[in-house]
Amino acid sequence: MKKIIIFLAFVLIFYLFVSDLMVQGLEIPDDAIRIRVVPNSNSENDQEIKNKVKEELQSSMYELLKDSKTSSEAEKIINENLNKIDKDINNLLIKEKYNKGYVLNYGYNYFPEKEYKGITYEEGYYKSLLVTLGEGKGDNWWCVLFPPLCLIEEDNTEYKSLAKQILEEFSNNLE
């Protein structure tokens, strides 16, 4: 019984530690660069196109910014690659036979208030890469390009995997 209590206490302490790390990781620094994709509407097709643009941008932006050390370095890379980013989006939309147009803008763009995992992100104008599809009236997706917080959910998976491994080793030692 004593081993079970120790094990449960360990699980609780570890869970609280990992949860605290995840919440801290969700804070957005002042010099962050965001990314936002606003679809034409909330129709199933428009939301699907938004998600395809999002995935394309996440992949291409990761490749461009993976070695960036500072916000100003990331900003310079984005500015130098705006034509490539625009071309990639255009090619994707042609492939998807999307003919409602789009606007790509890098600068200070408006973001509405958002609550995510218990944290409220204030509305305001933030340095960002914004893609507006068609009329831009649908539910948007946004994340942080630099530092690369768009990968936070993948990071959480790593924390959970580490927790699982430690717990398995601990429970094996109790036997």
pLDDT in tens, 116-163: 778 888 999 999 999 999 999 999 999 888 888 774 343 333 334 444
Residue 4 pLDDT class (50, 70, 90 cuts): low
Average pLDDT score over the chain: 80
Range from 68-72, 100-104, 118-122, 167-171 that averages highest in pLDDT: 100-104
What sign for the dihedral angle of Cα 134, 137, 143, 144? positive
Residue whose pair of structure tokens reads 């914004």 in the numeric block:
130
pTM beyond 0.75: the answer is: no
Residue 116 confidence (pLDDT): 73
**Residues 22, 159: Cα–Cα separation, whole Å:** 9
Q: Which two tokens stand for residue 162?
A: 């580490």
Which band of pLDDT confidence, cut at 50, 70 and 90, is reported for residue 90?
very high
What is residue 143's predicted lDDT score, i.e. its pLDDT? 87
> What are the extents of the domains in the chain?
1-28+151-175, 30-146
Question: What is the CA 3 to chain-centroid distance, rounded?
Answer: 40
In three-state form (DSSP H/G/I as H, E/B as E, the rest C), the secondary structure along 68-113 is: CCCHHHHHHHHHHCHHHHHHHHHHHHHHCCCCCCEEEEEEEEEECC
Which tops the pLDDT comparison, 118 or 173?
Answer: 118
Lowest mean pLDDT among 3-17, 32-46, 65-79, 126-140: 3-17
CA separation, residue 82 to residues 37, 61, 128 (Å): 15, 11, 12
40 three-state secondary structure: coil
Phi first, then psi, for residue 134 (nearest 5°) are: 55, -130
CA atoms in the 13 A half-sphere facing the CB of 31: 8
Would the pLDDT of 67 be above 60?
A: yes
Q: Is the pLDDT confidence value at 63 over 60?
A: yes
